[in-house]
Structure formats: structure tokens, C-alpha cells
């Protein structure tokens, strides 16, 4: 039987290079074996999901050329399946209701010393599994070790597993339940995912057995990614969004080549290989379990090799296409304001430079004209964190931030934002510009603006 694999990202943030690597390894395996590559969006965490991230997942996969054969499936549209599984678990008494609060659980853990976690308090209380109560899996005695294609045997004694939740008190299925139900329903034969899921796999297998799902998939947990200081790659510290690399002008084929080397190597000291070579030579069993270093300088050197290998006219065509893609979505708005072709570029360069070009004289003038400059940026930064990221909501947030800082004129409220984010005092309409730049970059630049003010205050 040809394998069925999946990439199952959660739309809670930008598409991460680690997810890109995992998607690539699944894709390579599927293509090599004549299998099926499924895309499943794990959007059960309604509080943290965002539509912009769903779009981002699809765009990043397309940019990398990792075409999927089925999906996207959305877990948010499959709740009946999870509900049925939960009912089955209730019927066979594999789960029980629990009404402990997080504080109570913590308090008891503190009192007994030892590891934190749930102590089975409600196991035999016989609470009704009514709405409003969390459901926990009754972990049986025994072993739930498994064989991993990358890591070998991963043993686990069930006494080290807590009775984990499968349904939240609000009725939503928890990650692990939806994950198991879907892998079974989609007949996934190989679960290839990040090492951070190893400890979930023991629970996964217990649920799989309880739900009587049949033949188990094989598992391959891919090594974690570290930065060049050997620290776990993190959203806060490191540049981890695949689309940031696209926006900086990396070539997708170079990115794919580099991602393939994160945990795998074709042997010898070869590093540059075509997609066809990767498909032919990739081996799950050849993936190393030790952490892999994501090193941007290395990526740069791979990228420059690809760039140099292009015929000059193709390099020109591709760099033009890249530039155009950065600002074309607001071209019509730029046209209304630019007086020359040169201005088209100065009005849009904030979209394709890693940081805005701030003219110190313009900045000082802007700050001097506006006593509320800092308070507006503060308020904007706070408000931008959780609005819907589209022009109208952005405008409303700036208006509200202005009022909060005692500024009623919209022009005055938006000037500090424009200056901090684009580096300029004139440009295309701000709301659409910020929408295009994206939430994270916008907030980053507002923050940098605030830091600039602080530095100036300290030195002045
Ligand atoms: N949704 C999970 C995540 O984003 C992936 C789960 C899996 O691959 O099994 O980490």
C-alpha cells in the first residue's frame, strides 16, 4: 500500500521554518513512494486561531512548491467525528469527568511534592460527563512505548503519564483527541512530525487503542531546530516565518534545498541537490535524531549558489517579479500620490527593506510637532496585538489610540505610526499599507520607534 502522510499545522502563528521542514520531509516521502500528501488544518483552538494564518499556511506551502493531494481539511468542520469519539470513550468508561480547577491541581501537586500534573483526583468520583466538565482519559497500567523510525525505541511506563484531557470543559475536543481521530479517519500510515510531539505519542497510542482504530501508523519524529547559538529556535528570538525569507528575496528552490538538510543529508559532502534528486534519495531512516542548526548564513550561502547559477536574464526577471510582488497589491493607491516613478519606489520601499529607512531630520521634526507621539505609539502597539488584521480595523485602532492619547485629528494620530513603520512622513494610504506589511512587522517597527524615543530621551 502506498503511504499516506500529512502535514497538520495549527493556524496560531506564521508558518514556521520547522513546519516547512516537516512538510517537506512528508512531501518527499510521499512523492518518492507514490503516496498521498494530505493537508489538514488543526484549528480547534478557537481562541488562538486566525484566518490570516490559514492563508499564510497555504501561501507558504505553495511558495515552497509542496503541493498537497488532499485537503485542506479543517478540524473546525469535523466536530461531529470528535463528538462521536468522545461518546464512545464515555460509553466504554475510558474517560471520566473532572471539575478540578488549574489552581486546585497545582495546589495539590505542591502539597505532595514531586512532579506537577494531574493526580487522578476525580477518577473514582463518578461525576456525570455533563457539559461544563472536562473529560480525562483513564490511563491504564502498562507500557505505551513505541518504535520511532528516527529515534528507535521510545519506552514509556504508563505510571509516568497523567490522566490527560480529551475534551475541554467548554465541550471542544482537545488537540490529542482530534489528532488521533483524524489520523485514523484519514488512514494516515506514517506520522512524520516534530520531536516536540514525542510525549504526545504515548497518549496518542493509548487513545488509538481505546478507540479501536486498527493498524497503527508508523512514527518518525524529526529533530528540533536550534539557532546558531544552540538555543531552540523560537518565535520571539529568531526569524522563523517562512514568508519572511520569501520577502527578503530567498529563492524557494534554495529554501527547499536548505530545509532538506535540517536533519537529513544525501551523503558525501554534497549539499546542493535538485528536487528530483531529493525525491529519489530521501530516506526517513537516514534522518538524524540530534537537533539540527538553522543557520541563516548557511541558508544565504545556499541561496547565493542558486542565484549565481541562474542565467542573468532570469535573475533579472525573478528579482523584478519579487520586487513587484512586494508592493503591487497597493499599486493603485501609490499611483494616486506619487509624482514620479522614483517616488513609486521611495513610497513603497518599506515593503521590501528589512527595516524602514528613517530620515533622522524627518523623525525629529515629527516628534517635535507632536507631544503625544510616544503615547500614540504605545496605545497603537497594544491595540494592534489582537485586532483583525485588515485596513478598516487598523484604522479604527489608530483612531482609538489617538483619542486615548488625547489627539482627535486623524492626521495627527497616524503621523507617528507612519513615521515609525515606513520611515517617511508621506506615502500611500496607511491602513492598506500596514495590512500588506503584516501585523508582526508593523508591531516590530512600532516597538523600534518607541525604543528610538527612549534612547533619545536617555541621551538628551
Ligand atoms: N497541529 C500540530 C502542530 O501544529 C501538529 C500535530 C501533528 O503533526 O501531529 O504542532
Distance between Cα 246 and ligand 1 center (Å) = 23
Task: Count the neighbouring beta carbons within 10 Å of the beta carbon of residue 123.
Answer: 14
Element (DSSP H or E) covering residue 96: strand 95-98
At residue 457 the predicted structure's pLDDT band, cuts being 50, 70 and 90, is confident
Residue 100, all three cell numbers: 478540578
Structural domains of the chain sorted by starting position, each given as residue range(s) with its CATH number in brackets: 4-77+225-307 (3.40.50.620), 79-222 (3.40.50.620), 351-459 (1.10.10.350)
**Residue 25 and residue 64 in contact, taking contact as beta carbons nearer than 8 Å:** no
Q: Which residues pair with 5 in a beta bridge?
A: 37
**Residue 223 and residue 287 in contact, taking contact as beta carbons nearer than 8 Å:** yes
At residue 113 the predicted structure's pLDDT band, cuts being 50, 70 and 90, is confident
Q: Catalytic residue, from 231, 235, 365, 369: name it.
A: 235
At residue 274 the predicted structure's pLDDT band, cuts being 50, 70 and 90, is very high
Known catalytic residue at 235: yes
Nearest to 75 by CA among 153, 205, 176, 223: 176
Q: Which residues of 277-303 are buried (b: 16+ CB within 10 A; e: fewer)?
A: ebbebbebeebeeebbbbebeebeebb
List of residues 6+ apart from 426 with CB closer than 8 A: 337, 347
Residue among 27, 60, 193 whose CB has most ligand 1 atoms within 8 A, to mutate: 193
Nearest to 32 by CA among 165, 172, 169, 190: 190
**Residue 78 and residue 36 in contact, taking contact as beta carbons nearer than 8 Å:** no
Chain segment 19-31, per-residue pLDDT in tens: 999 999 999 999 9
pLDDT over threshold 90, residue 279: yes
Nearest to 387 by CA among 442, 329, 451, 330: 442
Q: Is the Cα dihedral 44, 45, 51, 55 positive or negative?
A: negative
Q: What is the pLDDT of residue 333?
A: 97
Nearest to 188 by CA among 199, 204, 202: 204
Task: For residues 57 and 39, give the distance between their C-alpha atoms in angstroms, rounded to a whole number.
Answer: 10
Chain segment 133-170, per-residue pLDDT in tens: 999 999 999 999 999 999 999 999 999 999 999 999 99
Q: Which residues pair with 193 in a beta bridge?
A: 221
Distance between Cα 450 and ligand 1 center (Å) = 36
Element (DSSP H or E) covering residue 4: strand 4-7
β strands within 24-98, DSSP E: 36-41, 70-74, 95-98
Chain segment 288-308, per-residue pLDDT in tens: 999 999 999 999 999 999 999
**Residue 192 and residue 151 in contact, taking contact as beta carbons nearer than 8 Å:** no
Q: What's the whole-number average pLDDT of the chain?
A: 95
Chain segment 241-255, per-residue pLDDT in tens: 999 999 999 999 999
Amino acid at each position: 500500500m502506498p503511504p499516506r502522510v500529512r502535514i497538520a499545522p495549527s493556524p496560531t502563528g506564521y508558518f514556521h521554518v520547522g513546519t516547512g521542514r516537516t512538510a517537506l520531509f512528508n512531501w518527499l516521502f510521499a512523492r518518492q513512494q507514490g503516496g498521498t500528501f494530505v493537508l489538514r488544518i488543526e484549528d480547534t483552538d478557537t481562541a488562538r486561531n486566525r484566518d490570516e494564518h490559514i492563508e499564510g499556511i497555504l501561501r507558504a506551502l505553495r511558495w515552497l512548491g509542496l503541493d498537497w493531494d488532499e485537503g485542506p481539511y479543517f478540524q473546525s468542520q469535523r466536530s461531529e467525528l470528535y463528538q462521536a469519539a468522545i461518546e464512545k470513550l464515555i460509553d466504554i468508561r475510558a474517560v471520566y469527568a473532572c471539575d478540578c480547577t488549574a489552581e486546585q491541581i497545582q495546589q495539590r501537586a505542591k502539597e505532595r511534592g514531586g512532579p506537577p500534573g494531574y493526580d487522578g483526583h476525580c477518577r473514582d468520583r463518578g461525576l456525570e460527563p455533563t457539559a461544563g466538565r472536562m473529560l480525562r482519559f483513564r490511563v491504564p497500567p502498562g507500557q505505551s512505548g513505541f518504535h520511532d523510525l528516527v529515534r528507535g525505541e521510545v519506552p514509556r511506563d504508563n505510571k509516568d503519564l497523567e490522566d490527560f484531557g480529551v475534551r475541554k470543559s467548554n465541550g471542544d475536543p482537545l488537540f490529542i483527541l482530534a489528532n488521533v481521530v483524524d489520523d485514523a479517519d484519514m488512514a494516515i500510515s506514517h506520522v512524520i512530525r516534530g520531536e516536540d510531539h514525542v510525549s504526545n505519542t504515548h497518549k496518542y497510542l493509548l487513545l488509538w487503542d481505546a478507540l479501536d482504530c486498527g493498524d497503527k501508523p508508523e512514527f518518525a519524529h524529526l529533530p528540533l531546530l536550534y539557532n546558531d547559538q544552540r538555543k531552540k529556535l523560537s518565535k520571539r528570538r529568531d526569524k522563523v516565518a517562512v514568508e519572511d525569507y520569501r520577502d527578503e528575496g530567498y529563492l524557494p528552490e534554495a529554501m527547499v534545498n536548505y530545509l532538506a538538510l535540517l536533519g537529513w543529508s544525501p551523503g558525501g559532502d554534497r549539499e546542493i541537490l535538485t528536487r528530483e534528486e531529493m525525491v529519489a534519495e530521501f530516506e526517513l531512516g537516514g534522518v538524524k535524531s540530534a537537533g539540527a542548526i538553522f543557520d541563516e548564513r548557511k541558508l544565504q550561502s545556499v541561496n547565493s549558489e542558486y542565484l549565481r547559477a541562474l542565467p542573468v536574464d532570469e535573475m533579472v526577471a525573478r528579482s523584478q517579479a519579487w520586487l513587484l510582488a512586494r508592493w503591487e497589491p497597493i499599486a493603485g493607491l501609490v499611483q494616486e500620490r506619487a509624482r514620479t516613478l522614483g517616488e513609486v519606489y521611495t513610497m513603497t520601499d518599506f515593503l521590501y527593506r528589512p527595516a524602514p529607512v528613517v530620515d533622522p531630520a524627518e523623525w525629529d521634526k515629527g516628534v517635535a510637532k507632536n507631544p503625544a507621539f510616544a503615547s500614540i505609539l504605545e496605545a497603537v502597539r497594544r491595540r494592534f496585538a489582537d485586532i483583525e488584521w485588515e485596513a478598516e480595523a487598523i484604522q479604527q485602532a489608530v483612531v482609538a489610540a489617538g483619542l486615548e492619547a488625547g489627539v482627535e485629528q486623524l492626521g495627527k494620530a497616524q503621523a507617528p505610526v507612519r513615521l515609525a513603520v515606513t520611515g517617511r512622513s508621506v506615502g500611500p494610504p496607511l491602513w492598506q499599507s500596514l495590512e500588506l506589511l503584516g501585523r508582526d512587522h508593523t508591531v516590530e517597527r512600532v516597538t523600534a520607534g518607541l525604543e528610538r524615543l527612549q534612547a533619545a530621551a536617555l541621551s538628551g
